[in-house]
A and B are shown apart, each in its own frame.
Chain A
Amino acid sequence: AQRVTQPEKLLSVFKGAPVELKCNYSYSGSPELFWYVQYSRQRLQLLLRHISRESIKGFTADLNKGETSFHLKKPFAQEEDSAMYYCAHGFNSGGSNYKLTFGKGTLLTVNP
């Protein structure tokens, strides 16, 4: 079964410090990976996806196929980055069916 692992439930850093949220996946094919973010009392929203190679709100994530990882990084954390972050993996589950599997999430707290 496809799996997404986020090893850290909680991550706490100080403002201005670098932050890295880890994500590992298990999939033998070409993965489609995403990071979603959920700010307090708000709905989940897409932060970035690996296929776009974009940087959103200062965050970047690089797909490392050798290590099967898709870690989320930001060089200088801000207090407004405090949120729950979910790594997700999309894959074709057979025929034209497409499924999205989420990790268990990492709660990031950026302290002043």
Chain B
Amino acid sequence: EAQVTQNPRYLITVTGKKLTVTCSQNMNHEYMSWYRQDPGLGLRQIYYSMNVEVTDKGDVPEGYKVSRKEKRNFPLILESPSPNQTSLYFCASTPAGRGTDTQYFGPGTRLTVL
């Protein structure tokens, strides 16, 4: 089944403890991105990647890192999480980042930073 998967789905951690949220897609998509969803703020793009080894900042990249060593994986790294990064995170992929392409979203990861 074509899909985008994220792990973990739920995570509670403490301030400063490094964490990684994984994202994987099995559709051979070139374009992948990370969003955070917050009440009243909607979805905001954190980082995106046009292809392997090509990444760029979205609208709210501060405090996050990403890597794209393989086409299928696009992990989100929080080196030193803080409480303001408590949010619902979505990974998405698109065949080639063209304007007409559908974004396929993962199920979301709910992160709480204490």
A27 to chain B, nearest CB (A): 12
Docked CA distance A32–B97 (Å): 12
Docked CA distance A97–B100 (Å): 14
Interface residues as binary, B83-114 with A (CB distance below 8 Å gives 1, 0 otherwise): 00000001010000111101101111000000
Asked if A100 is an interface residue, CB under 8 A from chain B, the answer is: yes
Query: Interface-forming stretch among A11-19, A43-51, A71-79?
Result: A43-51
Contacts of B42 in A (CB 8 A): 6, 86, 102-105
Q: Is A46 in contact with B102, judged by CB distance below 8 angstroms?
A: yes
A104 to chain B, nearest CB (A): 4
* Interface size range on B against A: 20 to 34
Asked if B50 is an interface residue, CB under 8 A from chain A, the answer is: yes
Report which residue of A44, A86, A90 has the largest number of chain B beta carbons within 10 angstroms of its beta carbon. A44
Nearest-neighbor residue (CB-CB) of A45 within chain B: B105
Contacts of A36 in B (CB 8 A): 103
Q: Is A46 in contact with B98, judged by CB distance below 8 angstroms?
A: no
Asked if A9 is an interface residue, CB under 8 A from chain B, the answer is: yes
Asked if A99 is an interface residue, CB under 8 A from chain B, the answer is: yes
A12 to chain B, nearest CB (A): 17
Docked CA distance A40–B35 (Å): 18
Further pairs besides A9-B40, A45-B105, A97-B50: 14, Cβ < 8 Å: A6-B42, A32-B100, A44-B103, A86-B42, A92-B99, A97-B97, A98-B31, A99-B45, A99-B48, A100-B103, A102-B45, A104-B40, A104-B42, A105-B42
A-B contact pairs, 29 of them (CB 8 A): A9-B40, A32-B99, A43-B90, A43-B105, A44-B92, A44-B105, A46-B103, A52-B100, A86-B42, A86-B43, A96-B50, A96-B97, A97-B56, A97-B97, A98-B31, A98-B50, A98-B97, A98-B98, A98-B99, A99-B45, A99-B48, A100-B33, A100-B45, A101-B59, A102-B45, A104-B40, A104-B41, A104-B42, A105-B43
Residues of A within 8 A of B (CB): 6, 9, 32, 36, 43-46, 49, 51-52, 86, 90-92, 96-105
